[in-house]
Amino acid sequence: MLLHLSTWQEIETYLQQSQGMIFPIGSTEQHGPTGLIGTDAICAEAIARGVGEATQALIGPTINVGMALHHTAFPGSISLRPSTMIQVVRDYITCLAKVGFTKFYFINGHGGNIATLKAAFSETYAHLEDLQIANAPKVQCQVANWFMCSSVYKLAKELYGDQEGSHATPSEVALTQYVYPESIKQAPLSPEVASGHKIYSATNFRIRYPDGRMGSNPGLATPEHGKQFYDLAVKELSDGYREFLTAE
């Protein structure tokens, strides 16, 4: 059930059965020579919709722009500052908590979002209590990173070994190829790929990782692999969402 394709009456009815909902959240950032700029949002959205179908959960609008300041030296990358992202998440949850939602499950496609999301949750809990919203003590938020699912991680290691890397990975590129086969990109990839450098400013990142990859070989990706990653992530996160709904 997609929020943006529902009426307010349908949402009111849904709330009588469940107070949980799922938010896909990703990023709009470079993903190397063959990765789509929308990779992180595309992956999160596709998996979230699959989880929604499996669990009958309500899916909120995809948060397409995340915290990716270190990628902004590459054309096309867009980022929120951490403080801005915290306010966006807080405001989303506040609106929904006021009408009865209490469980918010963020399916995340971008590692750079994790720290800011956790800070946003803390800010939100305090904000709801300051507003004295009736169900504030019941509100709970959780981040679920699809790329950190144990089944996904295991398959990535089996398929790609050390060439999985940590950004513009073949696993995430494969998933976008499965979702958007008409948008598969081809480009020469140097066998020499940078890895292991710490992340500082956007300018420094581009110097350290000149083609945008971090130890990865996305040339290994295939749509067939993407389907496998999709199925594994949907299964594992569906189980995770059900557990989250019943946890006290």
Residue carrying structure tokens 């305090």: 126
Instruction: Give the chain's domains with CATH numbers.
Output: 3-234 (3.40.50.10310)
Q: pLDDT tens for residues 145-165?
A: 999 999 999 999 999 999 999
* pTM score, whole prediction: 0.96
Q: pLDDT tens for residues 121-140?
A: 999 999 999 999 999 999 99
- Residue 248: which pLDDT band, with cuts at 50, 70 and 90? confident
Contact 62, 44 (CB under 8 A): yes
